[in-house]
Structure 1
Amino acid sequence: MEDSIHEVEHEHINQRGNESKAVSSLSADRLLEKLLRPELAMLYTDLKAYGERALKKPLPSLSFRLYRQFSDAGERKAYEQAYFDRRGRLAAVAMLALDPARPDALQALEEMLWNVCDEYTWCLPAHLGTGEVDQVNGNIDLFAAETVHMLAEMVTIHADRLDRLVIERIRFEAERRIFAPLYRDQQKFHWQTADHNWSAVCGGCCGMAALLLSEDETTLRESISHTVGCMNAFLSGYGEDGGCAEGIGYWVYGFGYFIYYAEMLREYSEGELDLLTGSKIAAIAAFPLRVHLSGGTFVNYSDSAEQEEIPSGLLSLLASRVGLQVDLPLHIPLLTDDPCHRWAHLARNVMWSDPAVYGDEGVSGQVECGFIFQNLGWMVAKGVLHSPSNQRSSGAPLHVAISVKGGHNDEPHNHNDLGQFIIHCGGENILCDPGAGLYTQAYFAPGRERLFHISSSGHNVPLIEGQEQSSGRQAQAHVLEAKLAADGGELNTTLDLTSAYPGAASLARYTRQFHWKMASGGSSNGAELRLIDRFQWKSRRESSAEPFSSADDSDAGYSSVVERWMSRVQPEVVKSGILCWQGVQGTVHMVYDANHWQVFTEAMNIVDHDNVPVTFYRTSLSWIGAVGDSDHRIEGYDPLETVCEVRFIIEPKKGETEVNMHE
């Protein structure tokens, strides 16, 4: 691919004069025409409200005190709120200024552009170490890259009306802050070879800015070669299954900017340079629909949210370019839906959103009934329960699903969560994943695995001999079985998770089995997940340096297990051995052996990624039985085992908590 790019580079650069720099889709008239379409009415209202407020108030200051908060105290929220509000105001006013009858918006836009050029750094303090001058000069992080791209597109769109001094100032700052260190000095940045979102976002944003702003042929050639290298690094982080270990939120971020650059490069080269080819690209494009469970709720392992706004422009473009079948109802995200107020998403939602490519989940059902990500180690199974209209107000199908996570504990934005699973019902993850925590200095520092969102203590995985899962690549889920029925009605998966618990001295082997089955008709109308955890223990002579005593004929008491289940719903005790989580549209009953397991639920009051208080209910099952079924011993090893078997029964919500719980 790179060879063909270099062959046509000179031809396409030489064909373009200085006055034809703008990619044709980036014109004020075309953007305004798109913005005024009826389906974008809510977006336009949101933009206008945000923009009108921005015209009345000065930009928030990025003061020295705010800048120093991260290096002094590890606090990043206050600076970033001001930083992203500035970007949001600029984006909204740039859209208002499309209207020729709004000279006030154009004048405000010029002031804001000039103000952003005055910023000490376009990087976030959290990405600058201690934030000293030598760490600022020539540094390019995600948001410096996003900023130069935003400014480049705004200059291109409003080129005929902006004051030339503003345009020249932006060119100067882009050259000084981005193009010189990156393309001319060829300074090395960690993200250039990263196999995650940084390479696509940083490389793609800088590359798009160069296509739009650079007037130097050498710089243009270097930018294309450099950016394609970044994109190849980014794609190396995906397997052929197209799975994103960082989760759906970072798929939007990384793959979104990959697509944005690829489309601009294709248009720039008049179709000669096309990065959107091959089966791997198609598989990556399909990822969000494969992990969409129902109702806009997704599998949210790692630092992703359950409810994710996928840019409508991005999905529309993928539908037209790689044939993605979209089984989601049309929803065009608002500027205020994105806390970072990203210009790239906003502009492409306006330019590319196509209602014709969207389906209706309630009518057409899922495109796929499940998927096994062989490289990633994730499994997803989906199904539909049908209930009489007198049980549910709409009588509509109830979507249910399960997801299981393998992988390893050194993934991008890693959580120590091998064996984690999600039970979904009616647009709600009832047994859930906590997703991302509040980003602070500690969140990315050594010892981060002690934080609730990252630790295995915040996931649906056990505590073994008082030990949580360990961090590192060596902690890996070995998939022993993964079978999914073609209709998604049955999933059987077995994981060996022994390596996740090196601190459990007595543990010889730990396997987790999942058996998921949808009801196949008759009077039953539900789904069942049967989970079987097997903990095999070493004998005392293996797990201790002390001499083995034949008088000590029991290993009970030194090999403890606590199973844990996370939910935003507080469970209710139906009777001994049965718990129930009542969701909005469905219920999940858990049936367990109360003779051997003691149940306890505690409220975990924390804050989420946006610093909003949230409560999770962690339900624990503590082993109170005896280890092993016999007291005979084999030389060097004792076949001692603890087994936890539970059934999760998922049904449409009923007036009474009735469930088929016979064994």
Structure 2
Amino acid sequence: MEDSIHEVENENINQRGNECNAVSYLSADRLLEKLFQPELATLYTDLKAYGERALNEPLPTLPFRLYRQFGDTGERKAYEQAYFDRRGRLAAVAMLALDTTNSDALQALEEMLWDVCGEYTWCLPAHLGTGEVDQVAGNIDLFAAETVHMLAEIVTIHAERLDRLVIERVRFEAERRIFTPLYRDQQKFHWQTADHNWSAVCGGCCGMAALLLLKDESTLRESISHTVSCMNAFLSGYGEDGGCAEGIGYWVYGFGYYTYYAEMLREYSDGESNLLTDSKIAAIAAFPLRVHLSGGTYVNYSDSAEQEEIPSGLLSLLASRFGLQVDLPFHIPLFTDDPCHRWAHLLRNVMWSDPAVYGDEGAFKQAERGFIFQNLGWMIAKGSLDTPDTKCTNGDPLQVAISVKGGHNDEPHNHNDLGQFIIHCGGENILCDPGAGLYTQAYFAPGREQLFHISSSGHNVPLIEGQEQSSGLQAQAHVLEAKLAEDGGELNTTLDLTSAYPGAASLACYTRQFHWKMASGDNRNRAELRLIDRFQWKSRMVSLAEPFSSEGDSDVGYSSIVERWMSKVQPEVVKSGNLCWQGVHGTVHMTYDANHWQVFTEAIDTVDHNNVPVTFYRTSLSWTGVLDAMDVRIERPNALETVCEVRFIIEPKMGEFEVSMRE
């Protein structure tokens, strides 16, 4: 791919000379026309309200005290809130200024562009180490790259009306902060070879700005070569299955900017250079539909949210290019839904959103009934249940799903979560993943695995002999079995998770089996998940619930297992050996062996990625055993294993809370 791009690049640049702005979606007239389409009415109302506030209030400042906050305390929220508000106001006013009768908006736009050009740094303090001057000069992070891209597109769109000095200032700052260190001096940055979102976002944003602003032919050629190299590094982080280890939120970020650059390069080169080709790219494009469970709720491993807004412009473009069946209702995200107020998403949501590529979720036309990501180690099965109480689902089948995670514990935005699983019902992850926590200095510092959102203590995986899962590539889930029925009605998976618990001294082997099955026949009103955890010990373990005598032998050790289930729903004890989580539309019943496992539930109060308080309920099954030193000398291989078997039944929620034991 890279060689063919380089061959085309020289020819096209020589043909076009110093032309720029040859990008159809950066036309002010076309953008204004699109902005007033009926399907964008809600977006425009939201955007206009935000923009008018920006016209009537001073632009937030970035004072020194906020800049130093991260280096002094590790706090990053206050600075970033002001920083992103500035970008948001600039983006909104740039859209309002499309109306040529609004002279106030144009004047405000010029002031805002001038003000952003005068910022000490376009980088976030959290990406600058201690923030010293030598760490600022020539540094390019995600948001410096996003800033130069936004400025480049705004001055391109408004080139005929903006004051010449403002445009020159933008070009000057882009040259000083981005183009000179990156393309002329060829300074090295860690993200240039990163196999995750940084390479696509940083490389793509700088590359798009270069296509729009650079007049020097040789530097422009260098920028294309550099950006294609970054994009290849980004793609190396994906397997042929198209799975994104960082999760759906970072798929939007990384592959979104990959797509945005690819589309601009394609237009710039008159279609000769196309990065949106081959089967691997098609698989990556399909990722959000494969991990969509129902109701706009997704598998949210790593630092992703359950509810994620997929930019409608991005999804529309990919659906049309790759023939994807979108099983989501058509929805254009509001500008204020994105706390970072990203210009790239806003512009392309306006220009590319196409209701025709979206399906009818109510008809349950799922793109796929399940998928196994062979490279990533994720397994997903989806199905639907009949609903006797049709009021709760508007008469539609109740959508249910399960997801299982393998992989390893050294992934980008890693959580120590091997063997994690999600039970989904009716648009809700009832047994869930905590997703991303609040980003602070500690979140990315040594010892991060002790934080709730990152630690295995915040996931549906066991604590073994007091040991959480360890971090690192050596902690891997070895997939022993992964079989999915074509209709998604049955999934059988077995994982060997022994290497995740190196600190469990008595543990010889730990495997986790999942058996998922949808009810068959005319009455499809339930699904079942059987989970079997097998712990094999190096010495015989006897449960303390069983009769035991050490006959005076002092060489006796203890072992323990604590199985854990995470939910935002507080479970209710139906009776001994039976728990129930009541979701909005569905119910999950869990049965277990109460003779050997003790149950307790605790509330854990934390905050999510956006610093919003959230409570998780962690339900634990606890087992304690004792090492029988006398029996070690007796050949009893079957006694070297402890088994925890639980059964989850997923059903539509009844009108009243009624639970019956089902055998």
TM-score grouping bracket, smaller chain normalisation: over 0.9
Residue matched to 1:399: 399
| 1:207 is the counterpart of 2:207 | yes
| 1:462 is the counterpart of 2:450 | no
Q: 1:142 to 1:266 in 2, by over 3 A?
A: same
The residue matched to 2:264 in structure 1 has which SS?
helix
Q: 1:36 to 1:524 in 2, by over 3 A?
A: closer
Residue matched to 1:335: 335
Which moves more between the two structures, 323-332 or 457-466?
A: 323-332
Residue matched to 2:421: 421
The two structures have a TM-score, normalised by structure 1, of: 0.96
Residue matched to 1:545: none
Contact 1:627 1:642 in 2 (8 A): no
| Superposed CA offset, 1:454-488 (max 9, x none) | 00000000000000000000000000000000000
Residue matched to 2:536: 536
| 1:134 is the counterpart of 2:134 | yes
| 1:223 is the counterpart of 2:227 | no
Query: Where does 1:422-501 land on structure 2 (aligned, <5 Å)?
Result: 422-501=422-501
Q: 1:564 to 1:378 in 2, by over 3 A?
A: same
Q: Name the amino acid aligned to 2:110.
A: E
User: How far, CA to CA, are the matches of 1:662 and 1:55 in structure 2?
Assistant: 63
Contact 1:601 1:619 in 2 (8 A): yes
User: How far, CA to CA, are the matches of 1:393 and 1:294 in structure 2?
Assistant: 12
User: How far, CA to CA, are the matches of 1:469 and 1:531 in structure 2?
Assistant: 19
Aligned identity (percent) is: 86
Residue matched to 1:54: 54
Residue matched to 2:151: 151
Displacement, 1:7? 1.9
User: How far, CA to CA, are the matches of 2:239 and 2:219 in structure 1?
Assistant: 32
Q: Name the amino acid aligned to 2:483.
A: K
Q: 1:637 to 1:487 in 2, by over 3 A?
A: closer
Q: 1:316 to 1:641 in 2, by over 3 A?
A: same
User: How far, CA to CA, are the matches of 1:391 and 1:286 in structure 2?
Assistant: 32
| Superposed CA offset, 1:9-55 (max 9, x none) | 22211222445444232110000111110000000000100000000
Query: Where does 1:348-427 land on structure 2 (aligned, <5 Å)?
Result: 348-389=348-389, 392=392, 394-427=394-427
Displacement, 1:5? 2.0
| 1:34 is the counterpart of 2:34 | yes
Residue matched to 1:163: 163
User: How far, CA to CA, are the matches of 1:555 and 1:596 in structure 2?
Assistant: 24
Q: 1:57 to 1:103 in 2, by over 3 A?
A: same
The residue matched to 1:149 in structure 2 has which SS?
helix
Q: 1:393 to 1:245 in 2, by over 3 A?
A: closer
Displacement, 1:662? 3.4
Contact 1:313 1:350 in 2 (8 A): yes
User: How far, CA to CA, are the matches of 2:87 and 2:551 in structure 1?
Assistant: 72
The residue matched to 1:341 in structure 2 has which SS?
coil
Residue matched to 1:644: 644
User: How far, CA to CA, are the matches of 1:553 and 1:397 in structure 2?
Assistant: 60
Q: 1:292 to 1:519 in 2, by over 3 A?
A: same
The two structures have a TM-score, normalised by structure 2, of: 0.96
Query: Where does 1:115-134 land on structure 2 (aligned, <5 Å)?
Result: 115-134=115-134
Residue matched to 1:92: 92
Q: Name the amino acid aligned to 2:200.
A: A
Which moves more between the two structures, 614-623 or 8-17?
A: 8-17
User: How far, CA to CA, are the matches of 2:83 and 2:573 in structure 1?
Assistant: 47
Contact 2:579 2:590 in 1 (8 A): yes
| Superposed CA offset, 1:305-324 (max 9, x none) | 00000000001100111222
State the aligned residue count: 656
Q: Name the amino acid aligned to 1:270.
A: D
Q: Name the amino acid aligned to 1:177.
A: R
Contact 1:595 1:625 in 2 (8 A): no
Contact 1:391 1:655 in 2 (8 A): no
Contact 2:304 2:436 in 1 (8 A): yes
Contact 1:247 1:302 in 2 (8 A): yes
The residue matched to 2:558 in structure 1 has which SS?
coil
Contact 2:124 2:143 in 1 (8 A): yes
| 1:80 is the counterpart of 2:83 | no
The residue matched to 2:24 in structure 1 has which SS?
coil
| Superposed CA offset, 1:179-203 (max 9, x none) | 0000010000000000000000000
Q: Name the amino acid aligned to 1:620.
A: S
User: How far, CA to CA, are the matches of 2:295 and 2:170 in structure 1?
Assistant: 42
Residue matched to 1:546: none
| 1:253 is the counterpart of 2:222 | no
Displacement, 1:556? 8.1
Q: 1:42 to 1:273 in 2, by over 3 A?
A: same
Residue matched to 2:622: 622
Q: Name the amino acid aligned to 2:653.
A: K
Displacement, 1:393? 5.8
User: How far, CA to CA, are the matches of 1:540 and 1:324 in structure 2?
Assistant: 54
| Superposed CA offset, 1:469-522 (max 9, x none) | 000000000000000000000000000000000010010000000000001035
Contact 1:587 1:653 in 2 (8 A): yes
Residue matched to 2:234: 234
Unaligned runs of 5+ in 1: 542-548
Contact 1:22 1:156 in 2 (8 A): no
Displacement, 1:638? 8.3
Residue matched to 2:544: none
The residue matched to 1:560 in structure 2 has which SS?
strand
Displacement, 1:658? 4.2
| 1:319 is the counterpart of 2:319 | yes
Residue matched to 1:275: 275
Q: Name the amino acid aligned to 2:76.
A: R
Which moves more between the two structures, 136-145 or 324-333?
A: 324-333
Q: 1:393 to 1:328 in 2, by over 3 A?
A: closer
Displacement, 1:392? 3.4
Residue matched to 1:507: 507
Which moves more between the two structures, 441-450 or 14-23?
A: 14-23
Displacement, 1:531? 0.3
The residue matched to 1:422 in structure 2 has which SS?
strand
Q: 1:21 to 1:39 in 2, by over 3 A?
A: closer
Contact 1:405 1:420 in 2 (8 A): yes
| Superposed CA offset, 1:391-419 (max 9, x none) | 63622110000000000000000000000
